[in-house]
Amino acid sequence: MEAVRVSEFAAPVRRSEIAATTEIRVAGFGGQGVILAGMIIGRAAAIYDDRHVTLTQSFGPEARGSACSVQLIVSPEPVLYPYLTHSDILVVTSQEAYTRFAPSLRPRGTLIYEEELVKPAHIPEGTNAFHIPCTRLASELGRKLVQNVVMVGFTAAVTGIVSPDAARKAVRDSVPRGTEDLNLAAFDKGLEFGLTVYGKLEAVR
């Protein structure tokens, strides 16, 4: 039986000029740090980029190895309904997650995937697709476990959904004490890969 948890980040008083509401899903399997990745994105958007954010978590009966996902809605206005209709941005780190959630990607949406673990059978025309070997890049830092934070950096680079400065602050706030430098290095590695390979894109606004 799948469990769902809902939470909301408190938005600051000052709001940004960003106009669009963006629906985001990050999905993979337990043990990949999917929930932490979503929390970092949500914290960056709400606390440091001045937007309203809701976050819901879905996970299977076993913590490690089972399918899990986190859904975020990022908006300049209060979010009245916290559940996704269609993903504007879909981030997947396992084949099962891709198979399950790709059909819910909005036409002309953005697909981001771990290229060594996900092999898309068919990417719809008009989809903005980006891929990264985040597990291998994390291994270069000596800890494969930080592949989720590499993916956060990459997502920030190719979508602009959160600013790099906001995301770095959120990483520092979110990871276990004593691992801040490693996780910040992982974020920067993903960010650099995205900017180097794909170039800086216009923010999702």
| pLDDT tens figures, 133-184 | 999 999 999 999 999 999 999 999 999 999 999 999 999 999 999 999 999 9
pLDDT at res. 67: 78
Distance, CA of 111 to CA of 129 (rounded, Å): 5
pLDDT at res. 200: 60
Confidence of residue 61 (pLDDT cuts 50, 70, 90): low
Instruction: Collapse the DSSP code of 129 into the 3-class scheme (helix H, G, I; strand E, B; otherwise coil) and give the result.
Output: strand
Mean pLDDT in residue range 61-74: 77
For strands 67-75 and 105-114, give the pairing. Answer: unpaired
pLDDT at res. 204: 42
Amino acid at 137: L
Top-confidence residue, 3 or 37 = 37
158, 161, 166, 171: CA torsion to nearest 10: -70
Q: Which residues does residue 202 pair with via DSSP β-bridges, in sequence order?
A: none
Confidence of residue 45 (pLDDT cuts 50, 70, 90): very high
For strands 105-114 and 87-92, give the pairing. Answer: parallel
| CATH code linked to domain 3-197 | 3.40.920.10
Q: What is the mean pLDDT of the chain?
A: 87
- The sheet with strand 105-114 has its strands ordered as 3-9, 52-59, 67-75, 22-29, 87-92, 105-114, 128-132
Confidence of residue 197 (pLDDT cuts 50, 70, 90): very high
Distance, CA of 12 to CA of 199 (rounded, Å): 31
